[in-house]
């Protein structure tokens, strides 16, 4: 269905390849915004665009709007709009400010800290191989929250919410920012504060976990590099929810391989989406795979457990006690006839060289097979979902800004972006 406005007045342009455009169009029209999908806009109507709501627009798109007054980001991030030549300097940029996004980010970071602290990745690996690995707790140190130092880089809305959540859970929390403008509130909450390049090394050396929630600017591009990682305590963790260009992938992989970094939780990448690498085996490996087929039995057991959970309408199960203990590797072992049926599809897929839509799980875009992050055993990946925008909240703010601009009052102060700060 076309989203064209019904009159010949001003147009609010919508461009995104990420969000559900039809829902946004419905929400904005309900709020009185004459929104038009960029894909539906006739060539002669680009001059009617006075307000643009976009997410990662292609170069040159906004230049087609000679009467544009404001550019509104569809999310909290604005780095794609700050690229040279994307938005003229004289045009204001606004963004979404959603308190729930800060809460979601804090929850995601807490999950990452606990995953590293409680060795959950090791337990997941042991479960996949049906090992009752009580020795995992003896590896390294077992630290309570008060013994774990977490440093948050970036003390904006999301950084402060994250730092305060960690502090409430008893962690030692520090914060670093490019300036000390937000330090009074953080210090009052009990957060140790560092500022500027001159204090960055001291900040990093004091941490067990470093969390990056910085905006992307020329100063923060590549900030998580080999030098910064060398300052970390050995066996530490890195969590990046800021922007992909702030992390140098090769440097992180080197630190992971050396053991300097024990765990990484990543939600943002450069490029994005992170391209998955096809694991399709060449024909010469088929015989070897068939010979190693008995080693795939643990995977089949896991599939059976997942099937059981689905049948019972259980979303997730985290188990720490069993009867008997230790849990025998044969737990939930399927009957031989069912096992044979389960083995046939993988065998057919291998023989026919079918990849069973592994790529569809991630993204349908071109997929260069360059990143080792997908397969690294000490890396956990989420696809830029650490802090999602609430569509209704976003629509409220977009509509409020549109009506303010249409009334000649300009964009709302609360949503204005400071280009020099990146947010």
> Contact, 127 vs 322, CB < 8 A?
no
Q: Which pLDDT score is estimated for 304?
A: 67
From the CB of residue 265, how many other CB atoms can be counted at a distance below 10 Å?
24
Is residue 203 very low, low, confident or very high in pLDDT (cuts 50, 70, 90)? very high
Which two three-digit tokens encode residue 382? Answer: 């989420």
Q: What's the half-sphere exposure (Cβ side, CA atoms, 13 Å) at 65?
A: 27
Q: Which residue has the higher pLDDT, 253 or 140?
A: 253
Which 3 state secondary structure label does DSSP give 406? helix
404 pLDDT more than 70:
yes
* Banded pLDDT at 142 (limits 50, 70, 90): confident
- Is the pLDDT reported for residue 229 higher than 90? yes
Q: What is the second-level CATH architecture of the domain 99-272+358-381?
A: 3-Layer(aba) Sandwich (3.40)
Fold of 11-98+389-415: Rossmann fold (3.40.50)
Most confident of 77-91, 132-146, 319-333, 377-391: 77-91
> What's the CA angle centered on 178, arms 218 and 185, to 5 degrees?
145
The 10s digit of each residue's pLDDT in 269-317 is: 888 777 665 333 444 444 444 455 555 666 666 666 666 666 666 566 6
- H helices present in 292-329, as ranges: 297-311
> Distance from CA of residue 213 to its chain's centroid?
11
Task: Please tell me the predicted confidence (pLDDT) of residue 8.
Answer: 61
**Domain chopping of the chain, boundaries:** 11-98+389-415, 99-272+358-381
For residue 91, count other CB atoms closer than 10 A to its CB. Answer: 14
Cα-based torsion angle of the residue sequence 131, 135, 136, 139 in order, rounded to the nearest 10 degrees: -150
Where is 152: in which H helix or E strand? strand 149-153
Cα 10 from Cα 33, distance rounded (Å): 10
92, pLDDT greater than 60: yes
> Does residue 416 contact residue 91 with C-beta atoms inside 8 Å?
no
At residue 389 the predicted structure's pLDDT band, cuts being 50, 70 and 90, is confident
Q: Report the share of the chain in percent with pLDDT over 90.
A: 50
Q: How far is CA 198 from CA 178, 179, 202, in A?
A: 10, 11, 8
Cβ(111)–Cβ(172) under 8 Å?
no
- Is it the case that residue 360 has pLDDT exceeding 50? no
Mean pLDDT (the chain, rounded): 81
Query: Which of the pair, 331 or 63, is modelled with greater confidence?
Result: 63
Question: Does residue 412 surpass a pLDDT of 80?
Answer: yes
Pick the range with the lowest mean pLDDT from 6-10, 90-94, 232-236, 245-249.
6-10
Same fold, 11-98+389-415 and 99-272+358-381: yes
Give the confidence band of 420 by pLDDT, cuts at 50, 70, 90.
confident
Residue 64: pLDDT band by 50, 70, 90 thresholds? very high
Q: What is the dihedral of CA 356, 357, 358, 359, to 10 degrees?
A: 150
Better-predicted residue by pLDDT, 142 or 331:
142
**Whole-angstrom distance, CA of residue 9 vs CA of residue 50:** 10
pLDDT exceeds 60 at position 180: yes
Please give the pLDDT value at position 316.
62
């Amino acid at each position: 269905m076309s989203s064209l406005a019904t009159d010949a007045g001003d147009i609010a342009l919508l461009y995104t390849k990420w969000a559900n455009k039809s829902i946004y169009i419905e929400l904005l029209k309900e709020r009185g915004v004459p929104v038009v999908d960029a894909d539906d806009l006739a060539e002669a109507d680009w001059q009617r665009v006075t307000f643009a709501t976009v997410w990662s627009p292609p170069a040159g798109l906004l230049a087609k709007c000679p009467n544009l007054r404001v550019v509104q980001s569809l999310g909290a991030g604005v780095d794609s709009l700050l690229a040279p030549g994307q938005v003229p300097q004289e045009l204001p940029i606004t963004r979404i400010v959603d308190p729930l996004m800060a809460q979601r980010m804090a929850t995601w970071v807490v999950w990452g800290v606990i995953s590293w602290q409680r060795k959950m990745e090791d337990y997941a690996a042991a479960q996949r191989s049906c090992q009752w690995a009580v020795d995992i707790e003896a590896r390294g140190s077992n630290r309570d929250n008060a013994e774990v130092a977490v440093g948050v880089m970036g003390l904006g809305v999301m950084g402060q919410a994250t730092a305060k959540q960690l502090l409430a859970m008893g962690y030692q929390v520090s914060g670093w920012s490019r300036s000390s403008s937000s330090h009074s509130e953080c210090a009052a909450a009990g957060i140790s504060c560092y500022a500027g390049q001159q204090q960055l090394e001291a900040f990093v050396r004091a941490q067990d976990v470093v969390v990056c929630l910085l905006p992307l600017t020329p100063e923060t591009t590549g900030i998580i590099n080999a030098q910064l990682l060398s300052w970390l305590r050995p066996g530490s963790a890195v969590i990046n929810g800021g922007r992909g260009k702030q992390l140098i992938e090769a440097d992180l992989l080197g630190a992971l391989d050396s053991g300097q970094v024990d765990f990484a939780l990543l939600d943002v990448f450069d490029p994005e989406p992170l391209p998955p690498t096809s694991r399709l085996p060449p024909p010469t490996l088929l015989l070897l795979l068939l010979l190693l087929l008995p080693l795939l039995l643990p995977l089949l057991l896991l599939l059976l457990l997942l099937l059981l959970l689905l049948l019972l309408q259980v979303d997730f199960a985290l188990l720490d006690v069993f009867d008997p203990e230790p849990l025998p590797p044969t737990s939930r072992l399927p009957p031989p006839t069912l096992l044979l049926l389960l083995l046939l599809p993988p065998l057919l897929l291998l023989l026919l060289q079918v990849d069973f839509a592994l790529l569809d799980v991630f993204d349908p875009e071109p997929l260069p097979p360059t990143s080792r992050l997908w397969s690294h055993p000490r890396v956990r990946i989420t696809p830029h979902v650490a802090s999602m925008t609430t569509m209704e909240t976003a629509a409220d703010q977009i509509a409020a800004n549109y009506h303010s601009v249409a009334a000649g009052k300009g964009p709302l102060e609360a949503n204005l972006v400071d280009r020099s700060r990146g947010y």
